A and B are shown apart, each in its own frame.
Chain A
């Protein structure tokens, strides 16, 4: 007599198992197939093309009614198995039918995870798993808005599918970049850009707080920053959990999934399990490739043939038209691991290979994935790549042939090939300019404008020079920011502005960074450029700041810190001094020193004590003095008209006003001001970055002083009549410096490069330009003029404490 096989779930895994079983031994089992969904097996992964309108459901059905009847499979679709009696070897269907089995196979798949936010049970909150969900999304059109929570594979396919139907879609993703499990930041950036181009709004690092509804139906998603995103439908695609409820009720061994061995047998030898519901050797599964392998093994186990399931490398692709991405293997950084990175900013291509012991162990690609299968093969087969290392990243077409010579490629370009896109300059025009005597990049820029705008083509122009001039042309060794890039600070700043780059991965990609994520030299510079140019769009990255700016205190040689509260314009009060004295006692500060900047330094404070001492100083009305910052330090003043017999203006008052309006401002290097009440200059204003000398007729504002490694006297920028104008001029010149100078250039170094006249033209002569600078300065200050001490003492205090302590009690 035929044995009875009951299958729970008509999914992708059991579908494949059935095929193998029936092809090999059509008469071995009498099969009954249960499925909770009211239909048979279909290709679940093609729901996305169905949603996008590229396919119909009929096209993705894998087994027809005819197939089931030809193969004598009893179908019970739309029916669930309610429970299992392993002792009696029977199952009970939802309608109460009890059926005996010889063998039972689980293929119950997964259940989508629903974040238990308030409102998650409102009508219109759905997951993305089956045809019903898909049809729900397909019912939306151009008049609808939808929010998708989750920027992974599923969420993005849902978003793109709906966007293709004209729906206004917003994706809310909790992590800093999309598909963070498969992609690194650079590829995530390119993906985001492509989705934004499709009209999808993307919010990363966004935390959902609550789902709002009216009359029991979803109305909007509320984020924890207070943003409300209206929506008619809310799709949650935040992950899946193996569907194990039935198996654990039946007493099978269950961890995260149903435990199976290499033969796909559960802890009961008559019960098998395949697909996303299983856990094999600690792993659970979410892609079909391994499930198909499991299915074949399960079929053989059912037939008494020995077969074993082994886990293999997996690769991921996204089924969204126009977003070609590929990721496989392990792409984490590590010792002994090397990156080979290739970026073609113009085509939006990014490729990164991670190599260990001459073997490719991981790959991330975006934009051009034509060769992905070849790379995946290298990973899977653990091919030794030492011989092709130099050209590996270009793909199979470049292997085994002659060495790749970029100059040959440029030499081969026709005369009308466009080199500089911004200015429409062709190779021929550059060659003509060279023939007319332009012998270097600067001369080409000046005569043709090529590479004078966004700068992306600089490398190409140099190659044209090299090809045309031969040995006469020496590629200039321009000082690049660091080994991560060939670009100079100036090039990168220009790119950030002209290409509107507002994140670090955007800069890495568009400027062709050679490392995956920068280093301690370039990251602080990029962090500054981005926040200076895009104060509203860019979020400051503490991890890209030097420790002093990350912890808002100066690190000392023994690892303790110094704490310097502001004393506006050098003025203090007995109460402030008492609070400082109390804090010094309470936190056992070893050294209290008066600084060269007219304030008091508490040196030798322990890192753990910082939030507490700040809170104490805050309570007495004091804020961070930013003594650690590439930003406004002090405004040194003299006593001025208040007390001095020679004072011409209220220099102390002006100093206080300046310090209050400038404080918190980040600048390329530190910024120090001095205000002296008369030309006797007791505040040493003429050796500060910006110095003000008060005179009877007004205020002389001079810039570019220094008294550190170089000693320089300031040069007069302009004289103004009123205090208000003096403040406006100083804001404007600070903003001009911030927008244009190279990171770590003090004003005097920047001034030596651009010239005092260039600065005067913008501050003194162009009044509209000055007003615009002041406006941009104020905009930036609306975000950065705050006390980081208070913020950290309130929200980040825990991060200053050790992660754990094992020095107090003996460990077990």
Chain B
């Protein structure tokens, strides 16, 4: 069973936007789609490390701001001809709050 940690209000991220959560092992990008789903991914593009949180969100995908690779927010897989995968983490919205999985955060914080 996951234990969920409260991160912020859903409204703290704009629709079709993202913000980062800092952990000891780098940033996690938390995305909010137009339909108010949230996803958490490593904030580092497998191509050349582009910060995915700065990308344009469309549908359930994000386009990397550096060279336009497109990734699925749900699986982290690169779309189209590009190959690669970004790590994804459990995230959910409960009662208007964004929550991340405690076990995963603990793992990332224990530097």
Chain B residue with minimal CB distance to A176? Answer: B15
Instruction: Using A184-B35, A557-B48, A810-B110 as known contacts, say yes or no to A520 and B21 having CB atoms under 8 A apart.
Output: no
Residues of A within 8 A of B27 (CB): 802
Q: Which residues in chain B, 3-51, are within 8 Å of chain A measured between CB atoms? A: 5, 7-8, 12-17, 19-24, 27, 30, 33-37, 48-51
B17–A543 touching, CB < 8 Å:
yes
Chain B residue with minimal CB distance to A805? Answer: B22
Chain A residue with minimal CB distance to B48? Answer: A557
10 cross-chain CB contacts under 8 A: A176-B15, A335-B73, A337-B60, A339-B59, A542-B14, A551-B54, A555-B54, A555-B66, A806-B23, A806-B108
A520–B24 touching, CB < 8 Å:
no
Residues of B within 8 A of A337 (CB): 60
**Interfacial residues, chain B to chain A (CB-CB below 8 A):** 5, 7-8, 12-17, 19-24, 27, 30, 33-37, 48-51, 54-61, 63, 65-66, 68, 70, 72-75, 98, 102, 105-106, 108-111
Query: Separation in Å of the B30 CB from the closest CB of chain A?
Result: 6
Which of A516, A545, A805, A809 counts the most B-chain CB atoms under 10 A from its CB?
A805
Instruction: Using A551-B54, A806-B21 as known contacts, say yes or no to A520 and B14 having CB atoms under 8 A apart.
Output: no
What are the 8 A-B residue pairs with the smallest beta carbon separation, nearest first?
Answer: A335-B74, A332-B35, A520-B63, A520-B56, A803-B19, A547-B54, A333-B60, A543-B16
Query: Separation in Å of the A123 CB from the closest CB of chain B?
Result: 33
Residues of A within 8 A of B55 (CB): 520, 547
Residues of A within 8 A of B19 (CB): 799, 802-803
Give bound CA distance, A279 to B25, whole Å: 42
Q: A520-B70, A547-B54, A559-B51 are in contact. List 10 more A-B contacts (CB 8 A).
A: A176-B15, A335-B74, A336-B74, A520-B68, A543-B57, A547-B65, A557-B66, A558-B49, A559-B50, A810-B110
Chain B residue with minimal CB distance to A362? Answer: B35
Residues of B within 8 A of A803 (CB): 7-8, 12-13, 19-21, 30, 98
From the candidates A332, A557, A812, name the one contacting B36 in the complex (CB within 8 A). A332
Give bound CA distance, A726 to B23, whole Å: 55
A804–B21 touching, CB < 8 Å:
yes
A807–B66 touching, CB < 8 Å:
no
Residues of B within 8 A of A533 (CB): none
Residue A185, interface by CB 8 Å: yes
Give bound CA distance, A362 to B105, whole Å: 33
Residues of B within 8 A of A518 (CB): 58
Query: Separation in Å of the B77 CB from the closest CB of chain A?
Result: 8
Residues of A within 8 A of B7 (CB): 803-804
Chain A 303-333, CB within 8 Å of chain B: the 1/0 string? 0000000000000000000000000000111
B21–A543 touching, CB < 8 Å:
no
Instruction: Using A332-B33, A520-B70, A523-B56 as known contacts, say yes or no to A807 and B22 having CB atoms under 8 A apart.
Output: yes
**Interfacial residues, chain A to chain B (CB-CB below 8 A):** 176, 184-185, 331-337, 339, 515-520, 523-524, 542-547, 550-551, 555, 557-559, 799, 802-807, 809-812
Give bound CA distance, A547 to B54, whole Å: 6
Chain B residue with minimal CB distance to A550? Answer: B54
Which of B27, B49, B58, B108 counts the most A-chain CB atoms under 10 A from its CB?
B58
Query: Separation in Å of the A755 CB from the closest CB of chain B?
Result: 33
Instruction: Using A335-B72, A523-B56, A557-B48 as known contacts, say yes or no to A802 and B20 having CB atoms under 8 A apart.
Output: yes
Residues of A within 8 A of B70 (CB): 520
Residues of B within 8 A of A559 (CB): 49-51, 54
Instruction: Using A802-B22, A804-B22, A810-B109 as known contacts, say yes or no to A332 and B58 having CB atoms under 8 A apart.
Output: no
B59–A807 touching, CB < 8 Å:
no
Give bound CA distance, A807 to B59, whole Å: 31
A806–B22 touching, CB < 8 Å:
yes
B49–A332 touching, CB < 8 Å:
no
A332–B65 touching, CB < 8 Å:
no
Residues of A within 8 A of B58 (CB): 515, 517-520, 523
Give bound CA distance, A674 to B66, whole Å: 30
Give bound CA distance, A667 to B70, whole Å: 26
A333–B35 touching, CB < 8 Å:
yes
Residues of A within 8 A of B21 (CB): 802-806
Residues of A within 8 A of B50 (CB): 559
Query: Separation in Å of the A734 CB from the closest CB of chain B?
Result: 26
Instruction: Using A557-B48, A559-B50, A803-B30 as known contacts, say yes or no to A331 and B60 having CB atoms under 8 A apart.
Output: no
Give bound CA distance, A46 to B55, whole Å: 47
Give bound CA distance, A399 to B11, whole Å: 43
From the candidates A339, A515, A806, name the one contacting B24 in the complex (CB within 8 A). A806
Give bound CA distance, A109 to B47, whole Å: 55
Residues of B within 8 A of A335 (CB): 60, 72-75
From the candidates B15, B61, B106, name the one contacting A543 in the complex (CB within 8 A). B15
B37–A333 touching, CB < 8 Å:
yes
Chain A residue with minimal CB distance to B19? Answer: A803
Query: Separation in Å of the A610 CB from the closest CB of chain B?
Result: 12
Query: Separation in Å of the A21 CB from the closest CB of chain B?
Result: 36
Instruction: Using A336-B74, A804-B7, A810-B110 as known contacts, say yes or no to A546 and B22 having CB atoms under 8 A apart.
Output: no
Chain B residue with minimal CB distance to A524? Answer: B56
Residues of B within 8 A of A557 (CB): 48, 66
Chain B residue with minimal CB distance to A175? Answer: B15
Chain B residue with minimal CB distance to A548? Answer: B65
Residues of B within 8 A of A185 (CB): 34
Residues of B within 8 A of A519 (CB): 56, 58-59, 61, 63
Query: Separation in Å of the B24 CB from the closest CB of chain A?
Result: 5
Give bound CA distance, A545 to B65, whole Å: 11
Give bound CA distance, A545 to B56, whole Å: 7
Residues of A within 8 A of B75 (CB): 335
Residues of A within 8 A of B20 (CB): 802-803
A806–B109 touching, CB < 8 Å:
yes
Query: Separation in Å of the B11 CB from the closest CB of chain A?
Result: 11
Give bound CA distance, A547 to B15, whole Å: 15
Residues of A within 8 A of B54 (CB): 547, 550-551, 555, 559
Residues of A within 8 A of B16 (CB): 517, 543-544
Residues of B within 8 A of A520 (CB): 55-56, 58, 63, 68, 70
Residues of B within 8 A of A558 (CB): 49
